[in-house]
Amino acid sequence: MSDTVIMPRPQAQHPLAGQTMTGAQMIVQVIADEGTSAVFGYSGGAILPTYDAVFLYNEAQRRAGGQEIPLIVPANEQGAGFMAAGYARSSGRVGVALVTSGPGATNTVTPIRDSMADSVPIVVICGQVPTGAIGSDAFQEAPVASIMGAVAKHVFLVTDPAKLEATVRTAFEIARTGRPGPVVIDVPKDVQNWQGEFRGQGTLPIPGYRRRMDQSAGCHLADDDAARFFGLLGESQRPLIYAGGGVVSGSASGVLRAFAEAFDIPAVTTLMGIGALDTTHPLCMRMLGMHGAAFANYAVEDCDLLIAVGARFDDRVAGDPQRFAGNARAIAQLDIDRAEINKVKHVQWSHVGPLRDALGALTAWGRGQGVAPAHAAWRAHLDALRRAHAMNYDHDSTLIQPYYVIEEITRLTRGEAIISTGVGQHQMWAAQYCDFREPRQWLTSGSMGTMGFGLPAAIGAQVANPGRLVIDIDGDASVRMNIGELETATTYGLPVKVVVLNNFGDGMVKQWQKLFFKGRLSASDKSLHKKDFVRAAQADGFEYAVRLDRKADVPRIVREFLAFPGPAFLEVIIDPDAGVYPMVGPGQSYDKMITGDFIAARGAAPAEAAAPDSSEMF
C-alpha cells in the first residue's frame, strides 16, 4: 500500500506511532484522539472486534489512570444514533455511534437522516460482513453505502485496511467542518481484524472537499461588501435579524449578540435557532413561523430589512415565500452553504462563509466607521406587539394546561436547563414557553420531525454534560417510539428528567384532523390504549415515577420532580383539547395566522385555519 493515499498534517509525534495494532484498535484509538468522551452503540457479530477493542482500550486506561471511553448500550440502534446526536447537539463535539451490520446499520438510517437535515455532526461506524462476502447476501449483510449515501453527508466503505486509520480521522473532519453532518464508515470484519502499523496521523486525500472548505474559510468580508450592507442598514427604519440553526452549529451566538447589540437590531429565531440569542434578552422576539409567537410573525410582516443569518427560509417559516417579509425593501443573507443563497427568496445582499467570522467582521467594520443606529421607534413598536399579542392560554380551566406545566419548569430552571423534546404539540409548547439563556440547550428534531427523538437525545446530552440538568419534555405518543431507552437512563445512573404530557393520542395530528378533516380522528385517538407509563418507568428502574392529574398539585410535584437526584419520570394528564397556537396553515402567509381563543390577533385575522392546498405538506 503506497503512502500516497495518506495526507499527513504536521503535528507532534503520536506516542503510539509505529505500534502494531488491529484495525479495530486503530478505530478506537482515533476515536479517543478526536476527543470523544463516550460512544453509543449495540454490538453484533460483524462489529465484535471493535467492541473488544473498546474493552481492551478501557482496561488499559484504567491500569494507567487515564480517561476511559464509556460505551453506552441503548435498547436499539436508533436510540444509539439519537444519543450520539444529543451528545453532539448539546456539546458541539462529534457524536459517535458504533453498530453492527445489516439491521444494526439500517436501524440508524433515521437518526442519520435526522442529523443531516439539522446539520448535526455524528460519525456512525458500522460493522460489515467480510470483504469477500460483500454482495453475496451473507448473514446480516446490507448495502450500507447505497442506503446511507442518500441520507448522510458522506459514506466510506473501507476495503483497503491500510486506509482505515486515515479514513476514520477523515470522517471526523468531514462531520465537523463546513456545514456539519453525519458521516458513515462501513468496516468489514476482516478489515477490523487486520493488523498493521499505527501511524498516529494522516487523513485521506479529499482535495475537492478541502478546497471548498479552504475557500469558505477564506471568504473574508470585503470592506466594499460591508459598506453595501451598512448602506442597506442605514436606509432601514425597521431592521430585523432572522436567525437559524446555522448560528448555533456555527458557534456564532456570541458574535450575533454583539452584532445585534452594537446596531440595535431585534431578532427572531427559527425552531432550530432557539438559544442563538438569550430568549430573555430585550432584543429577542422569540420564535417565528408556523407555530411562532404572534408578535414574532407580526415583526416579520412589519420589518423593512430582513437579515437572515444561518437560516434557510424553509416551509415551516416561509409557507408562502412570495409574501414572506412582504414589506421588507431588502433582504440580506449570511450562510456557510452557498446553496442556501437565493434558494427560496431572492436577496439583495449575501455573504458565504463562517458566520462567526462574517458577523465579527461586520461588527468591527461598523464600529470602526462609527455606525451607531438607534431604532427606538421600531423597538417601541415591537414592545407594543409583544404586550398586545403575548402568548396566553385558559388560566381558569380546571384541567391541567400543558403551557402551565412548562411555565413552572421554566420558572424553576430559570432558562438554564438543557431541554430535549419528541415531536408534536409538546415540542411546540416547549419552544414557545421555555427560556434558553445559551445555545445548545434546545435539542429537537427540526427538519425531519422525528417522533421518539426526545428521550435518547436527552440521554446523549446528559452523558455529554454530566453536571447539567437535562429534561426531556415528551408526549405520550412520541415517547412510545423509543420508550425502551427509559431502562438505559437507569442502567447508567443518568439523572435525566422525563416529563410526558399525556393527552391520549397524537395531539398534533388530532389538531390537524379537527381543523382540516372535519374532526375525523383516524388512528390518532389513543384514549382507549392501556399503557401505564408510571408502571413502565418503575419497571425500568425509576425510583421517582409519578402521575400528576390535579391542577393544584402542579407547583409542588414539578418542584419535587426536578429536585430528585436521580432519573425521574413524571406523567402529566393534560387537557386533551389543548391546542398549539398561534398557527399558520401550510402554504399560508402570516396574515392568515390564527391565534386561538386566548392570544389577541390584529386586524381581521381569520378565526380558523384556511384549508391547505392539496399539494401542501403536513
Sign of the alpha-carbon torsion through 603, 604, 606, 611: negative
Tell me, what amino acid is at 309?
A: V
Q: Within the chain, how many helices (H) and strands (E) appear?
A: 23, 20
User: How many CB atoms neighbour CB 587 within 10 A?
Assistant: 16
Q: Which of 34, 77, 141, 485 is catalytic?
A: 77
The pairing of strands 195-197 and 20-22 is: antiparallel
Does 143 sit behind a cis peptide bond, omega within 30 degrees of 0 on the bond before it? no
Which residues are CB-neighbours of 199 under 8 A, at least 6 positions away? Answer: 6, 8, 14, 17, 165, 166
Q: Is the dihedral of CA 463, 465, 470, 472 positive or negative?
A: negative
285 has catalytic annotation: no
CA distance 85 to 87: 5
C-alpha–C-alpha distance, residues 49 and 193, integer Å: 7
d(CA 165, CA 292): 46
How is residue 227 written as a grid cell?
A: 459598506
Distance CA 184, CA 126 (A): 7
DSSP-assigned states of every residue in 339-383: GGTTSSS--SEEEES-HHHHHHHHHHHHHHTT-----HHHHHHHH
Which residues have a Cβ under 8 Å from the Cβ of 414 and sit 6 or more positions away?
Answer: 435, 437
CA distance 465 to 288: 29
| Catalytic annotation present for 343 | no
Task: Establish how many alpha carbons lie within 13 A of residue 209's alpha carbon, considering only the half-sphere containing its beta carbon.
Answer: 16
Catalytic-role residue among 34, 82, 141, 189: 189
CA angle in degrees (0–180, nearest 5) for 576-578-583: 140
Strand partners, 568: 497, 544
First to last CA, the chain: 52
Distance CA 190, CA 47 (A): 10
Q: Which of 1, 55, 59, 139 is catalytic?
A: 139
Among 373, 389, 378, CA closest to 304: 378
The rounded distance, in Å, linking the Cα atoms of 408 and 45 is 47
Contact assessment for residue 537 and residue 544, using Cβ atoms and an 8 Å cutoff: no
Is 290 an active-site residue? no
Secondary structure of residue 420 in the 3-state scheme: strand
- Rounded (10°) CA dihedral 449, 451, 455, 460: -40
Q: Which one from 21, 428, 508, 593 is the annotated catalytic residue? A: 508
What angle, 0 to 180 degrees and rounded to 10, lies between the N-to-C axes of helices 164-176 and 23-33? Answer: 30
C-alpha cell at 264: 440595535
Active-site choice (61, 140, 348, 538):
140
DSSP-assigned beta bridge partners for residue 196:
21
The DSSP code for 527 is T
CA atoms within 13 A on the CB side of 117: 15
SS3 of residue 475 by DSSP: strand
Decide if 453 is catalytic.
Answer: no
In the residue annotation, 140 being an active-site residue is answered as: yes
Catalytic residue numbers, as ranges: 77, 139-140, 189, 508
